[in-house]
Amino acid sequence: MHIMEGFLPVAHAAGWTLASAPFLAWGLISLRRRLREQPEQRMLLGVAAAFAFILSALKLPSVTGSSSHPTGVGLGAVLFGPLAMVPVGFVILLFQALLLAHGGLTTLGANLFSLGIVGPFVAAGVFRALRGLGASLALGVFLAAALGDLATYLTTSVQLAWAFPDPVGGFAASFAKFAGIFALTQVPLAIVEGLLTVAIFNGLARFNGEELRRLKLLPGQEARA
Amino acid sequence: MSGEALLRFAAVCQRYEDGSRGLEECSLSIRPGSRNALLGPNGAGKTTLLLHGVGLLRPARGQVEFQGRPLDYGRAGLRQLRQRVGLVFQNPERQLLSASVYEDISFGPLNLGLPEAQVRQRVEAALGAVGLADCRERAVHQLSFGQKKRVCIAGVLAMEPELLLLDEPLAGLDGPMRREFEALLEQLAGQGITILLSTHDVDFAYRWADDLHLLAEGRCLASFPARELPRQQALLAAAGQALPAVLGLHRRLADLGLLPDEPPRSLDALLAALDGAAPDLKRNPA
Amino acid sequence: MSGEALLRFAAVCQRYEDGSRGLEECSLSIRPGSRNALLGPNGAGKTTLLLHGVGLLRPARGQVEFQGRPLDYGRAGLRQLRQRVGLVFQNPERQLLSASVYEDISFGPLNLGLPEAQVRQRVEAALGAVGLADCRERAVHQLSFGQKKRVCIAGVLAMEPELLLLDEPLAGLDGPMRREFEALLEQLAGQGITILLSTHDVDFAYRWADDLHLLAEGRCLASFPARELPRQQALLAAAGQALPAVLGLHRRLADLGLLPDEPPRSLDALLAALDGAAPDLKRNPA
Amino acid sequence: MLIDRCAHASPWRRISPAAKGLFALAALLGAYLAPSPGLALGLALGLVLLTLAGARVPLPDYLGAAAPALGFLALGCASLLFSLGGPGGLAPRFLPEALDPAARLGARSLAALAALLFLVLSTPLPHLIALLRQLRCPEVLLDLMVLCYRMLFVFATVFRDGRTAQAARLGHAGARRSLRSLGLLAAGLLPQVWLRALELHQAALLRLGDGPLRFLAPSFPRARQELAWAAAGSLGLLLGLGVLA
């Protein structure tokens, strides 16, 4: 769920842009360092961004129908690390605004904060913590993707509630309102996203290890796992 | 005529979402047990027609009939149809979805809801039919292009279809693989499976098919038995197809009195006919 | 011999990381200004050989020479080599970096460090050469497969290479596109660009190439002028290739005394030769 | 992709992206500065008409492109009209005093959306990337954008074909099976992401590209003139809003 163009008041639009900027700069600096060592990562992240964009434009079969689509953020955060997902998330969000009119330019900062920063960091943190506690790969992947998704949607609800506090109940009432309305689509979506990400990892596990190592998929994953 | 058709397209019209033309008043019939080749330039609608045949696209006007009844696009109807009509896509890379050969072939039978023992039996039978029994445990990405195409066919055969649709089955195959593939098609047709395939290779279509269907700009220009092709040159040209090489040669040689008037269906047959004619000539060299 | 070669492979051996064979004592030479076709079954090493030609792979033993000097695999050496040798991959999707036709073609010349005006001039010239001047504003995903292949070639031509390597340039093209493409190859060869291409189409190789190179299992079985192909049938069979259709026909017709002994290079040429022979025969029909 | 198709078909694709970008920016600014909901709605209407008539976008396509955002707007504005707090506990209560701010918000969002749609429906994305290049956007981001845009269509085709192939073998019979099929498809394609990246890297090397990707954007011969017109139009729009206020 992205906040649409023009929906946020000026101060909020500018504020979230300022809040996201340091993360984007940090992500770019770390990415530039990576590119010096492994130039083919330039292509890798570009291609991965396209993959995630397509995944996010797919309509999923679920109770809520056409409005539900996965974000792929959990998957990306587990595979590439959350920091790399900030510039990648920026490109995906910009493209969603420019190619799908989904989100917008004035709300890019706010949407990047929820989907490109909070989501990936929560997903990666959950994954690392669960694997550290000895949880199975499937459970780790499911909760990382699902909670990453939920964190994104709760952040968006916070952003909306802060910008439009309830005249009577204030921030808390407004948060309950926005979170409640969007829960109809976002909670089932988070579960579907978790299940889908597990299905993807299950599918990947069926390739033989040799092939995945050649593609540098396993080492990175094992290093984190 | 329509009573005896296995699959029939009746004035099917359809456009894609992006506005490009799919089919335009396209009508043709496939007889049960026949071998059919769709000929036409790129963009003529060959792939689109095949997608309509398994209900993956839906006509805006006109209708598609299977065994005389219009397709039922409900869930149950499509399930039934796709059990009986299998489609093999052109690009095996886009169609093989599992990492292992065995798993990929079991995809369809499992979706049919068959019990495991029967799924295994069908997978084995399909592997045998395409001559890949030795590859059952291989990973898909270790296979050659020709083997991947065979796995795709096996995946469809495992659903035991009555009608097999193949999109450009010969594209991308090298010489020896083509010959193997033609033998496989021969064998499937021999088992009584009705076959409809699209191809760019007019020489192959002429020697293999019972019926030819010419497509251009979303329409079926004409359907006729392959042996009548020599009399349909104007239509062939309208569908952007060259004449089979054997026909040009036969005409000259028949003009020279070297061959009988009835044209052969392949260069091999023409050479054989020439050998038959040779003794006469050797005796009276020009 | 090696002194006059533009590109030479001297007993090149190489294996891929996964253990599969790349090349095995592979030796062959490309003469400057010549048209060369690589023939061989899938997996014979055709693509691998082309990758060695631009230094994307490196021999484990043996060496690749450009203009008599072994390739320098340092960064500067490879830069120099790739200015002079261009490679067009089989799949255009793996080669096009930008979705804008104009941008993509400008990529190579910009990397050469040319000034903007000269880059624009080269892009225009390359667009003109492949007949896509009208498409400069289009997006790659709006183009047909054949047009995408042309954009790939334009991107390489804009670097003005002396040697052009093409992997299966005719694969996936339908009849009319093939004819256009053959005309383009003709035109490039006419401009003095040396061409080495891989193909499955022995008929095309026989009528188009100056030199043929037969590959099998990573080795070059033989290189010979295309006109000698009729005398190299055993080698052709060893490389898994069928005989060009025109040769079988010519042999029978020459045996019958209808055609001179020197075989024509294409069916069209054979038909023309028959027409020349026709008057004599008409007078003495068998 | 609807917007991409419209942009590539629009006669205004030949106008300098800088000029259109400047005007869209002024329109966005106008949406925020408009003193009354009526004026903001007027601005939105003007932008819609400009896009329909000038950039020649068919009305059904325009509505299709705007639909997802309009859905969000309807939900968002509706939620402002009700309160969950106060004496009624958690029961939603209609707030008549929220009508005015909700109308302002709705009108502003519509105008801003119309400004965005004006830009993206008349300007192919490669032109916008080229504009960002001129504006000195970090190179890494530009590279990601160029590759992402290029590969998007490659993967879209691959995904569509894979889904079609699965449907032909009954892979979408039921929600569970459908989700499993989609997971299988995405998993099958994920290794291709690495392979494709490696292949593109090699392709770039062959054309001497071993660093940031450099391209020459198509030139817009009348860019200066168009930019001047856009500046005048922008100024007029903003002044007009000021005067009407």
Per cent of chain B over pLDDT 90 is 51
Please tell me the predicted confidence (pLDDT) of residue C51: 96
Contact C278 B240 (CB under 8 A): no
Nearest CA in chain C to B202: C175
Q: For the ranges B27-31, C152-156, C160-164, D156-160, which has the lowest average pLDDT?
A: D156-160
Whether D215 has its CB under 8 Å from any CB of chain A: the answer is no
Cβ neighbours of D209 in C, within 8 Å: 97, 107-108, 111
From B99's Cα to the closest Cα of chain A, the distance in A is 5
The encoded tokens of residue A186 equal: 């976002």
Partner residue facing A196 (CB), from D95, D179, D201: D179
| CATH fold of the domain at C7-242 | Rossmann fold (3.40.50)
pLDDT at B277 over 70: no
The encoded tokens of residue C20 equal: 């599969």
Mean of the pLDDT values across residues C100-113? 94
Residue whose entry in the numeric block shows the structure tokens 């190439």: C209
Mean of the pLDDT values across residues B69-92? 92
Q: Give the CA angle between residues D211, D212, D213 to the nearest 5°.
A: 110
Going by the DSSP 8-state scheme, the letter that residue C14 receives in this structure is E
Please tell me the predicted confidence (pLDDT) of residue C135: 87
Position B161 confidence tier, pLDDT thresholds 50, 70, 90: very high
- Cβ atoms of D118 and D66 closer than 8 Å: no
Residue whose entry in the numeric block shows the structure tokens 């190789």: C205
Go through the domains of chain A in sequence order and give each one's CATH number: 10-214 (1.10.1760.20)
Contact D169 B96 (CB under 8 A): no
- Residue-wise pLDDT for D1-51, tens only, equals 889 999 999 999 999 999 999 999 999 999 999 989 999 999 999 999 999
Nearest CA in chain D to B103: D184
Whether D181 has its CB under 8 Å from any CB of chain B: the answer is yes
Whether C252 has its CB under 8 Å from any CB of chain D: the answer is no
Whether C102 has its CB under 8 Å from any CB of chain B: the answer is no
Element (H, E) at C24: strand C21-30
Please tell me the predicted confidence (pLDDT) of residue A213: 54
Contact A210 C18 (CB under 8 A): yes
Rounded to whole angstroms, the Cα distance separating B234 from B232 reads 6
β-pairing, C7-15 vs B219-225, is: unpaired
Whether B141 has its CB under 8 Å from any CB of chain C: the answer is no
Residue from B160, B33, B29 nearest B84 by CA: B160
Cβ neighbours of A90 in D, within 8 Å: 141
Partner residue facing A40 (CB), from D80, D179, D198: D198
- Residue-wise pLDDT for A130-179, tens only, equals 989 988 888 999 999 999 999 998 999 999 999 999 888 889 888 988 88
Sequence-separated (6 or more) residues with CB below 8 Å from residue A43: D147, D196, D197, D198, D200, D201, D204
pLDDT at D87 over 70: no
Residues 37-66 of A with CB under 8 A from D: 39-40, 42-51, 53-55, 57-58, 60-62
pLDDT at A207 over 80: no
Please tell me the predicted confidence (pLDDT) of residue D138: 94
From C276's Cα to the closest Cα of chain A, the distance in A is 59
pLDDT at A68 over 50: no
From C20's Cα to the closest Cα of chain B, the distance in A is 10
Cβ neighbours of D161 in B, within 8 Å: 89, 91, 94-95
Please tell me the predicted confidence (pLDDT) of residue B256: 79
Q: How many other CB atoms are there within 10 angstroms of residue B33's CB atom?
A: 14
Nearest CA in chain D to A213: D191
Please tell me the predicted confidence (pLDDT) of residue A80: 85
pLDDT at B131 over 90: no
The encoded tokens of residue B65 equal: 């009939």
pLDDT at C1 over 50: no
From B93's Cα to the closest Cα of chain A, the distance in A is 15
Contact B98 A208 (CB under 8 A): no
**Residue B286 vs residue C214, higher pLDDT:** C214
Rounded to whole angstroms, the Cα distance separating C161 from C6 reads 12
Whether D36 has its CB under 8 Å from any CB of chain A: the answer is no
From A47's Cα to the closest Cα of chain D, the distance in A is 6
Cβ neighbours of A210 in C, within 8 Å: 18
Cβ neighbours of D200 in A, within 8 Å: 43, 46-47
- Give me the sign of the Cα torsion angle C194, C7, B145, C219: positive
Please tell me the predicted confidence (pLDDT) of residue B1: 44
- Residue-wise pLDDT for C218-264, tens only, equals 999 999 999 999 999 899 988 888 888 888 888 888 887 888 888 88
Residues 205-244 of C with CB under 8 A from B: 240-242
Whether D95 has its CB under 8 Å from any CB of chain A: the answer is yes
Nearest CA in chain B to C42: B174
Burial tier of D169 (Cβ tally within 10 Å: 0-12, 13-18, 19+): buried
Mean of the pLDDT values across residues C14-30? 90
Mean of the pLDDT values across residues D143-162? 92
The top-scoring range by mean pLDDT among A36-45, C168-177, D52-61, D164-173 is D52-61
Determine which of C81, C87, C93, C105 to mutate to test the interface with D (most D C-beta atoms within 10 Å): C93
Domain ranges of chain B: 7-242, 244-286
- Residue-wise pLDDT for C127-146, tens only, equals 999 999 988 888 999 898 88
Q: How far is CA C16 from the centre of its chain?
A: 24
Q: Which three-class secondary structure state does DSSP give residue B166?
A: strand
From A99's Cα to the closest Cα of chain C, the distance in A is 14
Cβ neighbours of B95 in D, within 8 Å: 161-162, 165
Please tell me the predicted confidence (pLDDT) of residue B282: 47
Domain ranges of chain D: 2-84+92-123+220-241, 132-206
Partner residue facing D168 (CB), from B18, B54, B98: B54
Contact B141 A206 (CB under 8 A): no
β-pairing, B85-88 vs B163-167, is: parallel
Residues 42-81 of D with CB under 8 A from A: 65-66, 68-69, 71-73, 75-76, 79-80
Contact B89 D165 (CB under 8 A): yes
Determine which of C141, C142, C145, C152 to mutate to test the interface with D (most D C-beta atoms within 10 Å): C141
Partner residue facing B245 (CB), from C43, C245, C284: C245
- Cβ atoms of C226 and C269 closer than 8 Å: no
Cβ neighbours of C17 in A, within 8 Å: 214
Q: How far is CA A140 from the centre of its chain?
A: 16
Contact B41 C175 (CB under 8 A): yes
Buried-state track B223-249, b at ≥16 Cβ within 10 A, e below 16: eeebeebbebeebbeebbbebbbbbeb
Cβ neighbours of B103 in A, within 8 Å: 206
Position A56 confidence tier, pLDDT thresholds 50, 70, 90: confident
Residues 102-131 of D with CB under 8 A from A: 105, 108-113, 115-117, 120, 125, 128
Contact D170 B97 (CB under 8 A): no
Mean of the pLDDT values across residues B143-168? 91
The encoded tokens of residue A225 equal: 């796992």
Q: Which three-class secondary structure state does DSSP give residue C83?
A: helix
The encoded tokens of residue D53 equal: 């008539």
Please tell me the predicted confidence (pLDDT) of residue A16: 97
Partner residue facing C108 (CB), from D130, D207, D217: D207
Residue from D154, D134, C44, B92 nearest A54 by CA: D154
Rounded to whole angstroms, the Cα distance separating C39 from D189 reads 32
Please tell me the predicted confidence (pLDDT) of residue C278: 53
Mean of the pLDDT values across residues B64-71? 94
First and final CA of chain B: distance in angstroms?
51
Please tell me the predicted confidence (pLDDT) of residue C259: 84
Residues 160-179 of D with CB under 8 A from B: 161-162, 164-171, 173, 177
